Structures are given as structure tokens and as C-alpha cells.
Structure 1
Amino acid sequence: MTITQQVTSAPLVAVVGATGVQGGSVIKALAESDKPYRIRGFTRDVTKAAAQTLKKRGVEMVTVNLVVENKEEVYKAFAGADYAFLVTNFWEHMNTEKEVSEGKLLIDAAKAAGVKGIVWSGLLPVKKISGGKYTKVVYFDGKAAVTDYGRASGVPFVDVQAGWYTSNLLAIPAFLAKQLDGTYALPWSIRPTTVVPMIDMENDYGLYVRKVLEQPVFPDGSALYTSSEDISAEELARQLSEVTGKKVVFKQVTGEEFANAFLTLGYPATVTGALIEVFQYFDEFGCYGGQPTAPSREGLARPTRTFAEFAESADWSKVFA
């Protein structure tokens, strides 16, 4: 383990969402490095178990609520940092205006701290890429607006985009559903041959951030398109069936059918409308708008996990209960 607070020459990396999936993955990857890092993790509750575990591993844990109303404390939290990893969570509140304002706040605070570089977890501008065809994918377009703001900030800025979480299959019933005959399906509104950049976020996302931080020169202006494995929807179902021993098939459904599954889970209509369009966008343009993932995977500290490796390590007992 190379996390330290004693080696003052080691770069201090401020990590937003330290106890979450993305921030936690960044800390995991930096801890695996043979280079020393000082890490400051942000959380709203430093007493919770995940925060205490990180503290025991040498991470400096700071309690801070990263909202616009708490601007002064947010600025203080970044003081002294050399680099910053920034992420916002649209799904926590499903409010694009709030997400954009908080993303801009994080960039302003990191800039005020004098960081040498910002690594931001962004997404592509679906409305722009589609030529105005898809206008409801607000959680992509909101993050893209923050990206534009960051690139104009004057601080060296890299966008490390997150692919499609493999863990979605474990956490969200609408993505892997039991059928009336007792079998299981991936009932998605894309073609079976559509390729999805699946990523084991906890294990692999941080590798891309580490790659950025360990470049000889911070790669200002670049974007990395992350995945553990690019895999078609039908192949995803086949491998899942093979690994788990359950009959799992891919089932192409309409956008409305796909959205209704989320409505029954309590998602608001504004979000389900976005889900209809985002899969149409995936089908037509690809998750990354046609950008390949292979160049971004080059030079990672270790290989990413295949989907089959993720599936073999995951606990599917609740999904297939």
C-alpha cells in the first residue's frame, strides 16, 4: 500500500465520493501503485463504516457537503490539494440544474486551491451528437455542460468517462428481469447486436484515473472512454447464462416498455423519458458517440476484468431468488 500522510512530497489527491463506487475505485487504484500518494477523501458522514475503513488505510477523511449552499466549506476542503478527482451523482436527486451547479462549484473550488490538474467523470453531449434528435438525456447533457466549464476554467482538465456499470445488473431489477416462465431476460430497448462498454466500476474505473495522474505530463484536454470489455447485448446474456447456470436471454423491447419497467420502480416520468432516448442514442451512435475504448485502455497498470470474470465473482443470489 502506498497511501501515506507522512511523505509530504507525495502528491495530495482530493477525491470526491470517496465512499462511493467511482471515488472508491480511484482510491483502490492509487493504493495499488508503487508511487506514493496522499489522499483526501470527501464524505458527508465520516463516522460511517466505509469512511472509517478508508481512514484506517491512511486516507485523510473530510466531512463536507458538496452543495452550492456550503460554498465556503467546499473551498476549504480542497485547500492544499495537488490534483482533484471530481464526480457528481445525478441519480441521488435527478435534478440536472443542481448537478451542473454543483459540478461547477467543485471545479471552482479545485481551481481556487491551485490544483495542477482536474480529473472529471463526465459524459458526452447527447443532444449535440444527435443533432438535436435526442433532447431528453439530461444526465448526459448536464455532465457535458460541466465538462465544457472545466475545459474553459484554465486548469489542466481531463474527462474520464464512465461506461455502463456491470453492477447495474445486480442492483436494478429493470435491467435483469424474471419472466413468467421462470427464466430471466435482459429486456432492453436496443438491438441484440448493439455493443455496450461494460465496466466493473469498483475494480477498473480507477485504473484510468491513475493512468492520467501517472503520465509524465498531465494530459490536459484529453478524454478517456472507459470499459472493462466491449460486448454485445446478446453476448452479455449468453455469458451470464453460462456463468450462473440460469437461463438468461436478451429480449429486445420497445422504449415505452423499457421505460415502464422503471416507472414501476418509482422513477419519475422525466427520467424514464430520458431512458427511452438514451438507449435509442446507444443504438444509433454508441455510448461514446463512436469513440473507441481501446486507445484509452492502453497503458493501464493492469488488465481490466472481462464481463465473465465479473459475473463469476458476483453474488447473484438476490437477483435469481
Structure 2
Amino acid sequence: MTITQATSAPLIAVVGATGLQGGSVIKALSESGKPYRIRGFTRDATKAAAEALKKQGVEMVTLNLVVENKEEVYKAFAGADYAFLVTSFQEHYSKEREISEGKMLIDATKAAGVKGVVWSGLSNVAKLSGGKYTNVTNFDGKALVTEYGRASGVPLVDVQAGLYYAGFLKGLLVKQPDGTYAISWATKPTTVISMIDVENDFGLYVRWVLEMPVFPDGLEVRTSSENITPEEMARQISEGTGKTVVFKQISVEETAQLLVSLGYPPAGAAEIAEEFLFFDEFGFYGGAETTSTEGLARPTRTFAEFVKGADWSKALV
């Protein structure tokens, strides 16, 4: 159904409308048989992705979601029935900033009187690991925002994203001296990772939450397109592309060094490297199972399907 402007339809405010998660939410809602009004937030409403959303009927709002812009942020949520909230840790790699911005978003939705918030959170790695892994600040910061949101009184569902399939198109495959490619992580080859085709599938989970008969306050949704081992990912990329791709287990220090060489800041690289140790020992969601896909509007995309449909021209050069 085409996105509507009819005031009888619920208004969904979507943070990061031109990003991977927010864009996926809008895609999933636009596919629904139910009518929605959608207000999308972006820092630049004139860019091509924003213009494309406008043509679909999305109300695009230029908004910088920083604490210094708190007054405008509060105004932007006015009239919304529901909100999808996400923060962008990779822009600054600051736990303190992520927490402050996440809390601001929660406060803004509460002030607007929304009926429900879908928040893109993550697990508390420090807590789940019993204090063993304390440097995964991206996960822990989002988890603290989740706790704040639940305590705020705003009905809140925490929808957590698995590791992105799309990362393989952006530097996660490293060319070896012999011309082959390697997935080089600090995990065992047999460690099961919850992976998500974020653009295609993440929004399905958010839509599922929003279309429940009663908004499921307190629910934690652990998304996955497929739970798969890194050695199997390597095999499927090889099979789908015709290139030789292997999995290579490396140390956490080597993982951090590799990420720095790919352009990650040292702090961010060290954090991601420690994430892999946590996945290896405790599981992606700390031992909790992924949420069933049975209630979703369509099947999630398998890793093999992603490999077949992806453009590998820049990742395998």
C-alpha cells in the first residue's frame, strides 16, 4: 500500500530514515496492507535518498539529533503515534554521547505522548559476561538507554539487530597475498553468529511489533535473517562468487589491527574486536535465542540469497 497522508492512519516517526535501519523500517511499512503516515528524520532532506522517500509519500524532516538541538528534536515528534529510534555510534564512538542522545530521544517521545517506542538496542555485554568484557561500549551504551526507556514509563520494545550481511561488502573480506580472500575474525570457525540482511529484513521485525493487536510493552526482539557460522559464510561466498574465500581465526589484537588498517579509529577497532570474543564465548545475544520469524510478513533472506543478489565488484577486487 502506498504511504498515506490520511489523518486516520497512525503517524510513525522514523529516526535515520535514509539509513540502513530506518530505511528498512519504512520499506516494511510501505509493503503493509495497513495504511501509515510516516515522518522521516534526516540531517539532509535534499539528498537523493530523502527525495526518493518524499516521492513515496514520506514527510521528510531535516533534523540534527544532538543534545544541543534538544528543543527542535522535541518539536519533531509532536503528533506522532509511534516512533522508531536508533542512534549512530559509528559516527563518534562515544558511549557517553550515545547514551545522552538516546535518553533525549526517549524524553522527546514521552513529551509527545506516543503510544509506543520501538528502540534499536543491544545487549549489555559487560553484564552478560560477568564483567569479563567491558570495552564493548556500543552494546552497553544502547543497553543502558533501554533501561532508561523502560523506567521512563513510555511503552517500549527493544528490537536488536544482528551482525549485518552488508559488512562483507564494506571491507570485511581481506585479500591475501596469494589472491584469495579471508574472513579474519577473533572467533572459532564454528561459532554461530546471528546475521541480519538489515535493508531487507530488519524492518519486518519492527512492522511485526507495530501490527500486534496490543503494543507489546517490555518485549525484547532479537533479530536474525540466518544464524550461521563464519566458516559456512566463507564457503557460501566462495560458491556464490567463484572466488576463493576462507575463514581465518585470528587474535583479538590482530583483529583490532586489521580494522584500523581498514579505516576504523583505534578505539572503535578495539571495541569491535572484543565483540567477537564475546560472541565466541557467550553467543551473539549472550545465550538468548533469536526471535522466531513465524510472525513476519515475509521470509527473511538467507545468507546464500544475499550472496547471490549482492554486488561484489568493490569487495572482491
TM range (shorter): over 0.9
SS state at 1:251 partner: strand
Amino acid at match of 1:139: N
Q: Is the 8 A contact 1:39 1:59 kept in 2?
A: yes
Output aligned runs, 1:83-122, within 5 Å. Answer: 83-122=82-121
CA distance in 1, matches of 2:63, 2:268: 28
How does the TM-score come out when normalised to structure 1? 0.97
Output aligned runs, 1:1-321, within 5 Å. Answer: 1-5=1-5, 7-171=6-170, 173=171, 175-293=172-290, 295-321=291-317
SS state at 1:181 partner: coil
CA apart distance, 1:264: 1.7
CA distance in 1, matches of 2:238, 2:22: 31
CA distance in 2, matches of 1:246, 1:190: 22
Q: Percent identity?
A: 71
Q: Is the 8 A contact 1:224 1:296 kept in 2?
A: no
CA distance in 1, matches of 2:147, 2:273: 25
CA distance in 1, matches of 2:261, 2:241: 27
CA apart distance, 1:2: 3.2
CA distance in 2, matches of 1:42, 1:106: 12
Q: Is the 8 A contact 2:173 2:316 kept in 1?
A: no
Q: How many residues align?
A: 317
CA apart distance, 1:139: 0.5
Q: Deviations over 1:227-272 (max 9, x none)?
A: 1111011111111100001111111111111110112233232222
CA distance in 1, matches of 2:46, 2:269: 35
CA distance in 2, matches of 1:272, 1:319: 20
Q: Is the 8 A contact 1:124 1:140 kept in 2?
A: yes
CA distance in 2, matches of 1:20, 1:37: 19
CA distance in 2, matches of 1:123, 1:180: 37
CA apart distance, 1:82: 0.1
SS state at 1:224 partner: strand
Amino acid at match of 1:305: R
Q: Deviations over 1:104-148 (max 9, x none)?
A: 000100110000000000000000000000010001000001000
Q: C-alpha root-mean-square deviation of aligned residues, in Å?
A: 0.8
CA distance in 2, matches of 1:271, 1:9: 44
Give unpaired runs (5+ residues) of structure 1.
Answer: none
CA apart distance, 1:161: 0.2
How does the TM-score come out when normalised to structure 2? 0.98
CA distance in 2, matches of 1:27, 1:246: 35
